[in-house]
């Protein structure tokens, strides 16, 4: 295999590995960011819950004028208020949980739609290649034929013609072979 093709293959492999590393680092960064956000959100919810509890207890205490009741009635009212506050907090927790679940479901749906969109684009790209690639051989911009799978999809005639056009400009033997094949036509 000529050195330039080996260099090109090595360069492509290196680029693919670098892309994978960048993607992995980005996923790790996003995960860490999500974890920080989750911790901040949980802390804020706890603080809000504590403040809500305090406010509700103060409100119930004011409403019932706990100071004026006898000790037994006061304890009973305090327990009743505490239960009411705990029920309100539990209701809020359930609502927050339901809201979060709804957000996650919406995000999953968006991801599915994006994957579906990419699949349709890829199918259309392949369809266009199958329909027009043979006529446009020699005019296709770099990157249109992505891999050997694209070449295989286009058939052996196209592969032969495509390989003939993939001449290394610095390889004298390739030019002579290409000229020889041109003079045979």
Sorted by where each begins, the domain ranges of the chain are 10-136+144-162
Distance CA 11, CA 154 (A): 25
Query: Which secondary-structure segment (H or E) carries 118?
Result: helix 71-136
Q: Which of 28-32, 122-126, 129-133, 176-180 has the lowest mean pLDDT?
A: 176-180
Q: What is the value of pTM for the model shown?
A: 0.43
Handedness of CA 154, 156, 162, 163 (dihedral sign): positive
Buried b (16+ CB within 10 A) or exposed e, 41-67: eeeeeeeeeeeeeeebbeebeeebebe
Question: For 92-118, what is each residue's pLDDT tens digit?
Answer: 999 999 999 999 999 999 999 999 999
């Amino acid at each position: 295999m000529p050195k330039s093709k080996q260099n090109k293959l090595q360069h492509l492999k290196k680029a693919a590995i670098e892309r994978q590393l960048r993607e992995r680092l980005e996923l790790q960064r996003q995960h860490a960011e999500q974890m920080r956000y989750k911790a901040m959100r949980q802390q804020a919810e706890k603080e809000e819950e504590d403040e809500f509890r305090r406010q509700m207890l103060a409100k119930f205490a004011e409403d019932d004028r706990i100071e004026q009741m006898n000790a037994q009635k006061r304890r009973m009212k305090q327990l009743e208020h505490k239960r009411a506050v705990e029920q309100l907090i539990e209701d809020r927790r359930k609502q927050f949980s339901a809201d979060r679940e709804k957000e996650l479901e919406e995000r999953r749906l968006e991801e599915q739609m994006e994957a579906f969109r990419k699949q349709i684009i890829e199918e259309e790209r392949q369809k266009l290649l199958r329909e027009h690639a043979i006529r446009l051989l020699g005019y296709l911009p770099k990157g249109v034929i992505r891999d050997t799978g694209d070449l295989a999809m286009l058939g052996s005639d196209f592969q032969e013609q495509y390989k003939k056009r993939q001449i290394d400009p610095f390889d004298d033997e390739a030019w002579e072979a290409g000229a020889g094949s041109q003079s045979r036509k």
